[in-house]
A and B are shown apart, each in its own frame.
Chain A
């Protein structure tokens, strides 16, 4: 994409490496929401060919970074930790935005960006194997429980939305009870799995067995969001599985438009 005309648009880096595989739809979603998005291989960050400080937002896409043969997200996170962790910390401190979905959420947890209660980017939680012990690909109902996070600002509190999921390791569990309490008390839970009536119930509506039905978690200051569902796959309603039944809302794009609005206001 040429510069010039786009100079004023927020710049977004969609990070990729072997095995990540939602970068194309993430790139399109950011672009559709009015950002100047670019797909950046993490090698270019490691080699200092590109710098994170050029960007206003980072998106960690889903997939199976490095095959997830160790633990989901672990290899991508350890490569970044070894080379650009300081840049990432500065990015967060500057109030810029970071979002990770699915494997991207797993990377955020491995990097210690979520929940980061202790403030020193230690790994404080895990996304464990689904209780059903199988990969789950379907649409879920979600309740918005925080709309101060820029990605969620276009939703109403308690609004019920629908998004696709596709994962094997999505069961959010913090390392201990205190952390869970901190997450709740600091209003960091962004989205919860619910049934069609908005009730927090078990499987199959909670597809992976996450504690407190947690589907997405924001950082304390709200500028980092990790979630298991995939807003980037449903930018417009026609890729929402139930659109032929008259679902009229474009849930996916609201995440990206909220973020772009915020960046336009702030930077």
Chain B
């Protein structure tokens, strides 16, 4: 026997020694879990190798095993509107039409980004691209929603360092790999010091009959590893992501290194092999590396397998078998290929200068056996490895008293609106987003900023055409509001879905799929777990009524440091469909003298609202979304758009209708005359700045008021007209807001020239 692997004398150990072994080998397993493994090997009548223990440590991590969340995801999310899902695997897939389908997924890269922001964020992009590729889909868009802290905490990197690292990481990876970064969001709050959240999404297009499967259900299928070589980077990444963040500088070796210039040809090569029908099954190597992907691919098809670890192309030749097996080195894909197709697949890889090697094959049974230089280093039943214990952890749902401090009424709200425009959560994100290539691939119909060149304002959704033959396109948007979630995780989640949905509708697209990235704290704390469950219930209750499935998602727990935890925050990636992208609608006003309508009704519900936040006041309960109302209004708005009545549209979110209208002036340089007389009998500021859900502002064709109002069935309120160089809002002859378009734009773009 060589010294490349060790047998661990597990059977004779006490509980205390088991705990020590878990710590010494960085397995991240609890004493109870170690005891379960011990009794398994007692039954087998032998002791495990280090390779075996490491493999179990990977599969049983929270990150891979969803130990704390799976029971709740099954209860509330899985199966929801599932008749509309075409396929689920590393990403979820829904059909667009008879020929095409769309794959989407959003996922967190929070823990690595908190330690090494550049590497963490860039490999986040790399990982999500591979998830889409695994479905046999061409990635067409990358998205990212980022949550940065403000205050620096001792022993942790400064928020400024984190922010610039994350943005550069996304830029350098996305731009180099040639997939446009088209949508996202950036939030700033002390909730995210020092626990930064980096949620990255990807959307891909595939022909539905070319979808790749991710399981192997017959013997003799060869396993090919393709792409980057395997190195010591990213070892124990999943275990690190399944624990609280103890300090900012720890565990640098757990963060992988990305290389987009290996990824770019890998995408071409894999898609070419898939298009030629040469791939039997396909999966990406992410968290847990080979140990996760080989096990999952075989187990899903009821097969066992053999793998020769010495056949894996390595960066460093002295790597030990257990390191090869669990390394999370980037840019790698696992291909299951029928023996007769192996030479052709290897040739395609070679044509693209992509490293590839046959490393094993599927066999009958449920055992996975690993060899290293002729010796068996692991021989385990996949039933055992891939079945971590699932926990229904103690949870406590707390009901808070909401405080409501009434701000004073003002004569004039110019100052308030300008303050809102320059709030870092609202102000233009061009300083980041203009560093991301959003037109590469030549399919971007609506980019993240739209309007007159040099004066562009924000878009609600980005629109990407799917080919060069017809007018079909997809729309992409997000929903998330950490300020609501902090106060009320249940309603925060519902409102996130509402926001994502209305963003898509505002661009004249029909929402067809969601992906949910769920961020939370330590699930071993009952109140955290309670919040987490509330969030999942909120997503479920909202999406069920809207008839849209969650096709994919990810859970990131332990976003916690000492006593400080993030709230339970979902980021929703939403995809919609446009039959004719020439009918896409943007928020910038299009003409002068056109009627402006509000769809919806502002209520006094200001918890987490921008209006109260900038005045440092408590706003009571958060807005309540009603999905039936949202669905009804959306159907009416889409019908009016289809009839050609609507010229521009913007969803009402933070800052209420006043800020929404201000944003519509930015890209158009067209002002608005708004008269609230007769519309509000309470305080006009509550009317202007309410963030009640499911609301839209639309500009419609002149002279079409009657037709439009009929279509809206009573849910529209006429506010005024477009035109001029000024946004003017008045009530009973009194001016509430009077600002030049240029003032609004320059405040919003402050800090970006």
Binding site for B on A (CB under 8 A): 18-22, 24-25, 28-29, 32, 41, 43, 62-64, 66-68, 134-141, 162, 164, 166, 196, 203-205, 230, 232-235, 238-239, 241-246
Contact indicator A67/B584 (Cβ below 8 Å)? no
In B418-459, which residues have CB < 8 Å from any A CB? 433-447, 449-454, 456
Chain A minimum-CB-distance residue to B446: A244
Residues on B with C-beta less than 8 A from A244 are 446, 450, 584-586, 588, 590
A-B contact pairs, 18 of them (CB 8 A): A18-B264, A19-B176, A19-B264, A21-B441, A22-B441, A25-B442, A64-B175, A135-B171, A135-B436, A166-B439, A196-B453, A203-B753, A234-B439, A241-B450, A244-B584, A244-B585, A244-B588, A244-B590
How far is B456's CA from A140's CA once the two chains are assembled, in angstroms?
Answer: 12
Contact indicator A196/B454 (Cβ below 8 Å)? yes
Binding site for A on B (CB under 8 A): 171, 175-178, 259-262, 264-265, 351-353, 433-447, 449-454, 456, 465, 468, 581-582, 584-586, 588, 590, 668, 753
New A-B pairs, 15, CB < 8 Å, besides A64-B176, A137-B434: A18-B352, A20-B178, A41-B351, A63-B178, A63-B264, A63-B440, A64-B178, A66-B261, A135-B434, A135-B436, A137-B438, A166-B437, A166-B440, A230-B439, A230-B442
Contact of A235 among B442, B445, B453 (CB under 8 A): B442
Which 10 residue pairs are nearest across A and B when measured between Cβ atoms? A21-B178, A25-B442, A233-B442, A67-B261, A166-B437, A135-B435, A164-B439, A64-B176, A244-B586, A18-B265
Contact indicator A28/B453 (Cβ below 8 Å)? no
Contact indicator A245/B261 (Cβ below 8 Å)? no
Q: How far is the CB of B582 from chain A (nearest CB, A)?
A: 6
Contact indicator A32/B261 (Cβ below 8 Å)? no
Residues on B with C-beta less than 8 A from A24 are 441-442
Chain B minimum-CB-distance residue to A29: B442
Contact indicator B445/A238 (Cβ below 8 Å)? yes
Contact indicator A204/B437 (Cβ below 8 Å)? no
Residue among A24, A43, A242 facing the most chain B CB atoms (10 A cut-off): A242
Contact indicator B435/A134 (Cβ below 8 Å)? yes
Contact of A242 among B436, B450, B753 (CB under 8 A): B450
Q: How far is the CB of A122 from chain B (nearest CB, A)?
A: 28
Residues on A with C-beta less than 8 A from B352 are 18, 41
Residues on A with C-beta less than 8 A from B442 are 22, 24-25, 28-29, 230, 232-235, 239
Contact of A166 among B175, B452, B453 (CB under 8 A): B175
Residue among A22, A32, A239, A244 facing the most chain B CB atoms (10 A cut-off): A244
Chain B minimum-CB-distance residue to A238: B445
How far is B447's CA from A242's CA once the two chains are assembled, in angstroms?
Answer: 9
Contact indicator B437/A43 (Cβ below 8 Å)? no
Residue among A136, A230, A235, A239 facing the most chain B CB atoms (10 A cut-off): A239
How far is B689's CA from A206's CA once the two chains are assembled, in angstroms?
Answer: 39
Contact indicator A242/B581 (Cβ below 8 Å)? no
Contact indicator B177/A136 (Cβ below 8 Å)? no
How far is B451's CA from A205's CA once the two chains are assembled, in angstroms?
Answer: 16
Q: How far is the CB of B260 from chain A (nearest CB, A)?
A: 7
How far is B180's CA from A166's CA once the two chains are assembled, in angstroms?
Answer: 11
How far is B452's CA from A234's CA once the two chains are assembled, in angstroms?
Answer: 17
Residues on B with C-beta less than 8 A from A238 are 445, 465, 581-582
Residues on A with C-beta less than 8 A from B453 are 138-141, 162, 196, 241-242
Chain B minimum-CB-distance residue to A246: B590
Q: How far is the CB of B66 from chain A (nearest CB, A)?
A: 35
Q: How far is the CB of B291 from chain A (nearest CB, A)?
A: 28
Q: How far is the CB of B430 from chain A (nearest CB, A)?
A: 9
Residues on B with C-beta less than 8 A from A204 are 454, 753
Residues on A with C-beta less than 8 A from B437 are 135, 137, 166
Contact indicator A21/B440 (Cβ below 8 Å)? yes
Residues on A with C-beta less than 8 A from B451 are 242, 245
How far is B434's CA from A246's CA once the two chains are assembled, in angstroms?
Answer: 23
Residues on B with C-beta less than 8 A from A230 are 439, 442
How far is B361's CA from A183's CA once the two chains are assembled, in angstroms?
Answer: 62
Q: How far is the CB of A158 from chain B (nearest CB, A)?
A: 18
Contact indicator A137/B177 (Cβ below 8 Å)? no
Q: How far is the CB of B182 from chain A (nearest CB, A)?
A: 11
Chain A minimum-CB-distance residue to B469: A28
